[in-house]
Structure 1
């Protein structure tokens, strides 16, 4: 049984880090529904609700992994066998996979990119919610995510697409954080009389 993060919400966000080193358990039942509901709290211009979450878990994982390997073969025919087997292993053994479907409306007045950003914002909300409930995850994508036969297996017909997958479970090494950059390098205070510059963009940085 995992234990939810008890720090303040901001401390919890600052302590989140993606990880692919995941073991059982994954969220289930009401906890999973609550985590996915966080995705639907993302900004959504036009209230289009473009999110579509497809959960793959349990005994269904190897069958879906086979579809992923076939998609890799179609989209990256020159990919080494090692890469295909890595995909098979990850999709077969990760406790839970959440496909990030994008229900796109190309002719809507809301630009497609804003619909895509709503899906991305929702995915980030889900990752944050996973962390705050004591779980972990990592967002992966690749050319295979554009494979139409794979998308059809996920119920995503044209023009709907896939933003990638969240691999989900319990962090094998909880508390392990990636080193973060200094925010001072990536922010600026706007002033009318001065051009905006960022320390991260300086050649000597």
Structure 2
């Protein structure tokens, strides 16, 4: 496989853009198909496809936020109107949010952990795909990824869980890079000695 300088440059400079800075237009129908195809092209031991995707588009984004606000209010009646409005806006203004669900299950040869990692790869591949198509994206988890009632309301089935939500849209700003780990702090060479 030949070296791809443009891809290397992209990987060295990729940056997430938060949902507040993602607006219309979002991917067209053909672009969405490409984005989802790239997103699901991940390592998958046993070809199990141990994940599912839930798309939040159009008016359903606002409706999903209303559902989250209602659940949040039930769980914490002290929430202010401003705090509830934050919940109502969770899938706005980004024109597309993709919920990535891990459907990992017991398997005689493939640990559930490997299946979970495969779902995580889907989420990150969706970020790469959005960028490759000229959009920007951010993969986030919030309380509703971990709350069973909220996760079910957003499309998770029994035994499933969200690994995150990938917001996609046209960026309204360029986000400056953040400090990255110093390689010497996070990389070691195994020598057989502790």
Same fold per superposition (TM over 0.5): yes
Deviation at 1:155, TM superposition (A): 3.6
Give the TM-score taking structure 1 as reference length.
0.79
Deviation at 1:189, TM superposition (A): 2.6
Deviation at 1:133, TM superposition (A): 1.6
Preserved CA contact (<8 Å) 1:100 1:123:
yes
Alignment of 1:116-195 (within 5 A): 116-174=116-174, 176-192=176-192, 195=194
Structure 1 position 32 matched with structure 2 position 26 = no
Structure 1 position 42 matched with structure 2 position 39 = no
Alpha-carbon distance in structure 1 between the residues aligned to 2:143 and 2:80: 14
Partner of 2:100: 100
Q: Deviations over 1:151-196 (max 9, x none)?
A: 334442211221121111112113632232322322123334x64x
**Is there any run of 5+ residues in structure 1 with no aligned partner, and where?**
1-5, 196-205
Q: Structure 1 residues 126 and 85, CA, compared in 2 at 3 Å: closer, same or farther? A: same
Preserved CA contact (<8 Å) 2:51 2:104:
no
Alpha-carbon distance in structure 2 between the residues aligned to 1:174 and 1:116: 32
Give the TM-score taking structure 2 as reference length.
0.83
Q: Structure 1 residues 175 and 139, CA, compared in 2 at 3 Å: closer, same or farther? A: closer
Q: Structure 1 residues 11 and 75, CA, compared in 2 at 3 Å: closer, same or farther? A: farther
Partner of 1:16: 14
Aligned length: 188
Alpha-carbon distance in structure 2 between the residues aligned to 1:76 and 1:183: 42
Preserved CA contact (<8 Å) 1:76 1:143:
no
Q: Determine helix, strand or coil for the equivalent of 1:170.
A: strand
Preserved CA contact (<8 Å) 1:96 1:167:
yes
Alpha-carbon distance in structure 2 between the residues aligned to 1:28 and 1:51: 23
| Alignment root-mean-square deviation, CA | 2.4
More divergent stretch after superposition (85-94 vs 157-166): 85-94
Query: Runs in 1 of length 4+ with deviation above 6 angstroms?
Result: none
Q: Determine helix, strand or coil for the equivalent of 2:30.
A: helix
Deviation at 1:40, TM superposition (A): 1.7
Q: Determine helix, strand or coil for the equivalent of 1:94.
A: coil
Q: Determine helix, strand or coil for the equivalent of 1:62.
A: helix
